[in-house]
Amino acid sequence: MKFAIVSKGDQKSNTLQQRIKTYLQEFDLQFDEEEPDIVITVGGDGTLLHAFHHYVHRINETAFVGIHTGHLGFFADWVPEEVEKLVIHIAKTPYQIVEYPLLEVTVRYLDDMDEQKYLAVNECTVKSGEGSLVMDVEIKGELFETFRGDGLCISTPSGSTAYNKALGGAIIHPSLPSIQVSEMASINNRVFRTIGSPLVLPQHHTCMLKPVNDVDFHITIDHLFLLQKKVKSIQCRVAEEKIRFARFRPFPFWKRVKEAFVTD
């Protein structure tokens, strides 16, 4: 089996990265940063996001496992003290693959530029280049509302504990293939009206955002920031592709939520 290790880049994570590399090579596993079967991330959830986008072209061949060197993460749930145990698991035991839904974002343009497709692990956010964001929100091909406000966040179930949660969105179990549309400070008065509640859409219900006036936007895909010009539409839906995690022991999602947000 071929492995790669992505570190957050701080000293603690880099030291651990070296230790894991040495251990796995002692077990005759092959270090291969080009075509790894398994990618071990050392750092936090943000490190997993970076690793995912680095290896997105190998989405069906690569599985991820995360070690956190800071606080407990949703994607990084092994602690540094468990590294030896994890290494033995990776080297000796066939692991279970757990797949989580992703968000597919397709940006289409007013000029001849080819459409761009992105996959997000957590979310896509859309904000205006200048002033309030004004966009028609279509659901399944029907106009649902015209949104006016700071921005919109379209998240995956596993991203529901990230930016979406800060926007008052619901936490969604990753076994539900769905996307959630949540608002950032919508303008609601006698003239302008939006639903005001986060919307959870099932697989194959597409959410299409269409500019009303301004056609330049700030879009994020997870940690990636993209300035998009002359946008015709932004289409969001549950992706066909999934992110694959190597699972060596059960760690139920709700237990993770409790440990991350409720108890110490």
Q: Which residues are catalytic?
A: 45
Q: Which residues are annotated as a binding site?
A: 45-46, 50, 122-123, 148, 150, 185
Site for ligand NAP in 224-263 (CB under 6 A): none
Q: Cβ closer to ligand NAP: 132 or 164?
A: 164
Q: Is 80 in the site for ligand NAP (CB under 6 A)?
A: no
Q: Is 69 in the site for ligand NAP (CB under 6 A)?
A: no
Q: Is 107 in the site for ligand NAP (CB under 6 A)?
A: no
Q: Cβ closer to ligand NAP: 7 or 161?
A: 161
Asked whether the beta carbons of 129 and 220 are under 8 A apart, the reply is no
DSSP assignment, residue 169? P
Q: Is 70 in the site for ligand NAP (CB under 6 A)?
A: yes
SS3 246: strand
- State the maximum Cα–Cα separation within the chain, in Å, rounded to a whole number: 69
Among 77, 145, 183, 222, binds ligand NAP (CB under 6 A): 222
Q: Which residues are annotated as a binding site for NAD(+)?
A: 45-46, 50, 122-123, 148, 150, 185
Alpha carbon separation from 218 to 38, 104, 145 (Å, rounded): 33, 17, 21
Q: Cβ closer to ligand NAP: 58 or 223?
A: 223
Structure token pair of residue 171? 């936490």
Number of neighbours of residue 89 by Cβ within 10 angstroms: 18
Among 132, 161, 178, 182, binds ligand NAP (CB under 6 A): 161
Among 17, 42, 45, 236, binds ligand NAP (CB under 6 A): 45
Q: Cβ closer to ligand NAP: 132 or 182?
A: 182
Structure token pair of residue 12? 């603690």
Q: Is 73 in the site for ligand NAP (CB under 6 A)?
A: yes
Asked whether the beta carbons of 50 and 223 are under 8 A apart, the reply is yes
Q: Is 152 in the site for ligand NAP (CB under 6 A)?
A: no
Q: Is 123 in the site for ligand NAP (CB under 6 A)?
A: yes
Q: Least distance from C-beta 41 to ligand NAP, angstroms? A: 10
Q: How far apart are CA 13 and CA 128, in angstroms?
A: 36
Q: Cβ closer to ligand NAP: 41 or 132?
A: 41
DSSP assignment, residue 170? P
Among 13, 132, 158, 180, binds ligand NAP (CB under 6 A): 158
Q: What's the one-letter identity of residue 154?
A: I
| DSSP for 137-158, written as a single string | EEETTEEEEEEEEEEEEEE-SG
List all residues 6 or more positions away from 149 whose beta carbon is below 8 Å from its beta carbon. 132, 133, 183, 184, 185, 186, 187, 194
Q: Is 78 in the site for ligand NAP (CB under 6 A)?
A: no
Asked whether the beta carbons of 153 and 122 are under 8 A apart, the reply is no
Q: Which residues bind ligand NAP (CB under 6 A)?
A: 44-46, 49, 70, 73-74, 122-123, 158-159, 161-163, 166, 222-223
